[in-house]
Chains A and B, each alone.
Chain A
Amino acid sequence: MLGFVRHLGWRSVSNVFELGGITLFGSQLVFETLRPPWRLRRVVDEIYNTGVLSLAIVLLSGAVVGSVLGLQGFITLERFGAEQSLGGVVGLSLVREFGPVLTALLVAGRAGSAIAAEIGAMVATEQLDGLRMMSVDPIDFVAQPKALRSRSRSRCRCSPRSSSSADSRAATSSGSACSGSTAARTSRASSGTSISATRSSEVF
């Protein structure tokens, strides 16, 4: 019984300690993100690594989902003689609903694992300590460009101009560019990246 209480106390204390570390890291990251210098070159590199290099997998997933949606939609719509609506249905659902969520999940998953691997390797090879010894703050040098990159990516996903396909035009012509529900889902899905980032609070 005493062991259980001791274990419970130890777990509680360590959880509070970890929560404090995450909060401290998060606030430090926000502070560094708002404060110049913004290291634009590193931010552009990060955007390229995460955004451009994820394009292939996002396009492939979009094409596959679009095809399946088209096929299944055609079978259903044909019964009602509404085949001509297929383009609009697929376009709207893919660009307004599936597209942002799929992109967010894929990019966040890919970027999250890439960030974890990169920072893990930097810790193991003492690169972060090397930065500290040069009086360079690792949060400012390593984490800030990644955080700025994540912010810019979220904005891109919410922007109607980010989609240039015919589907995008169909979506924008149908009403609001970025619905509240889509934004909320995007935000939830993209939180994978920020969780990965906050978990790295221990190494920083």
Chain B
Amino acid sequence: MPHSAAETPVEEKAHVDVISLRLGFGDRRVFDGLSCRFPQEKISVILGASGVGKSTLLRLISGLLKPDYGDIWIGENEISRMPDRSLRRVRRSLGMMFQGGALLDSLTVFDNVALALREHTALGEREIADKVHAQFEAVGLKKVDALLPGEISGGMKKRVALARAMIMDPKILLIDEPFSGLDPLAVRLIEHLLIEVTRTKGLTTILTNHHIGSTMRMADEVVFLVDGVAVTGSVKDLKESIDPRIQRFLLAAGTGPALEEAS
């Protein structure tokens, strides 16, 4: 059930609500009654082992996948049974950064970021250029306009993808594995960028992550996926959890109470 404004205080009102979600691919059941909420203007990190369905959950929230059963609420819109045309309208309030960037190979970096503005706004080329360059500056990119995605590094691709995800001023930012394949300096840079844009623009940021260190540093809320369900809480809750499945995960990652006890 959606949380009505009367039931939920404004500051705690969830921007994204996932309720009793079930999804399977053939005989394999990925989610079996998964429920979780991603609070407004907070950074929520989806954590879990490989293959547990982190990216799948993000794709469900973005409407790229349809669940077998259950509801997904984006603000006041239930999107799991929404027709494509209506979904396109809802997606304008979403920005998504894919793991590999998903930049269009045939377009330059500038055109990739400008595409959504050209498609959905009546802005002139000069205004579009100003907005794109402002976004490039925000993510720390310079002189990349004429380059093709194949001509830039993995870290730069992630930053271009972030600029593209934010160009339409979304309310919700969905990010799939932003730190994979990056060196520690690049991880810190992207981390800093994400925290800054979330705080300054009041975004609801949802990201999947393997990187425990960055999760501890930036997460307001952690959604831990295990056995097709979600365990949610703050970073402190996660560290102090007595759930053996979470302890094992943290121990393997080299953090948490289990490790402290062991040491």
Which residues of A are at the interface with B, using a C-beta cutoff of 8 A?
A: 45, 121-122, 125-127, 129-137
Q: How many angstroms between the C-alpha atoms of A121 and B104 in the bound complex?
A: 10
Main secondary structure of the interface of B (DSSP, over half): mixed
Binds A, one of B11-19, B89-97, B126-134, B211-219: B89-97
Most B CB within 10 A of own CB, among A127, A130, A133? A133
Nearest residue (CB) in A for B63 is: A132
Q: How many angstroms between the C-alpha atoms of A24 and B120 in the bound complex?
A: 26
- Can you show 23 pairs from A to B with CB atoms below 8 A apart? A45-B106, A122-B104, A122-B105, A125-B102, A126-B98, A126-B100, A126-B102, A127-B103, A129-B102, A130-B103, A130-B104, A132-B91, A133-B64, A133-B165, A134-B115, A134-B116, A134-B168, A135-B89, A135-B92, A135-B119, A136-B115, A136-B116, A136-B119
CB-CB under 8 A from A134, the residues of chain B are 91, 115-116, 119, 164, 168
CB-CB under 8 A from B94, the residues of chain A are 133
- Interface residues of B, CB < 8 Å — how many? 25
Main secondary structure of the interface of A (DSSP, over half): helix
B205 within 8 A of A: no
Nearest residue (CB) in B for A133 is: B96
Q: How many angstroms between the C-alpha atoms of A137 and B84 in the bound complex?
A: 10
Q: How many angstroms between the C-alpha atoms of A122 and B88 in the bound complex?
A: 20
Once the chains bind, are B88 and A135 in contact (CB under 8 Å)?
yes
Nearest chain A CB to B93's CB is how many angstroms away? 10
Our pick among A45, A130, A135, A136 for the contact of B98 (Cβ within 8 Å) is A130
Q: How many angstroms between the C-alpha atoms of A122 and B100 in the bound complex?
A: 12
Interface mask (B189-202 → A, CB under 8 Å = 1, otherwise 0): 00000000000000
Nearest residue (CB) in A for B115 is: A134
Known A126-B102, A130-B103, A130-B104: A135·B64 in contact at CB below 8 Å: no
Nearest residue (CB) in A for B119 is: A136
Q: How many angstroms between the C-alpha atoms of A136 and B89 in the bound complex?
A: 10
Once the chains bind, are A125 and B64 in contact (CB under 8 Å)?
no
B62 within 8 A of A: yes
Our pick among A122, A132, A136, A137 for the contact of B64 (Cβ within 8 Å) is A132
Number of A-B pairs, beta carbon distance below 8 Å = 52
Nearest residue (CB) in A for B104 is: A127
Our pick among A121, A126, A127, A135 for the contact of B116 (Cβ within 8 Å) is A135
Interface mask (B36-71 → A, CB under 8 Å = 1, otherwise 0): 000000000000000000000001001010000000
CB-CB under 8 A from B105, the residues of chain A are 121-122, 125, 127
Nearest chain A CB to B164's CB is how many angstroms away? 8
Once the chains bind, are A125 and B116 in contact (CB under 8 Å)?
no
CB-CB under 8 A from A136, the residues of chain B are 115-116, 119
CB-CB under 8 A from A130, the residues of chain B are 96, 98, 102-104, 164
Q: How many angstroms between the C-alpha atoms of A122 and B104 in the bound complex?
A: 8
Q: How many angstroms between the C-alpha atoms of A132 and B95 in the bound complex?
A: 11
Nearest chain B CB to A128's CB is how many angstroms away? 9
Known A125-B100, A126-B98: A133·B62 in contact at CB below 8 Å: yes
Known: A134-B115, A134-B116, A134-B164. 16 other contacts (CB 8 A): A125-B100, A126-B100, A127-B105, A130-B96, A130-B102, A131-B104, A133-B91, A133-B95, A133-B165, A134-B119, A134-B168, A135-B88, A135-B116, A136-B116, A136-B119, A137-B88
CB-CB under 8 A from B59, the residues of chain A are 129
Most A CB within 10 A of own CB, among B91, B104, B105? B104
Nearest residue (CB) in B for A49 is: B106
Nearest chain B CB to A45's CB is how many angstroms away? 8
CB-CB under 8 A from B95, the residues of chain A are 133
CB-CB under 8 A from A129, the residues of chain B are 59, 64, 98, 102
Nearest residue (CB) in A for B99 is: A126
Nearest residue (CB) in A for B59 is: A129
Most B CB within 10 A of own CB, among A130, A131, A134? A134
Nearest residue (CB) in B for A132 is: B64
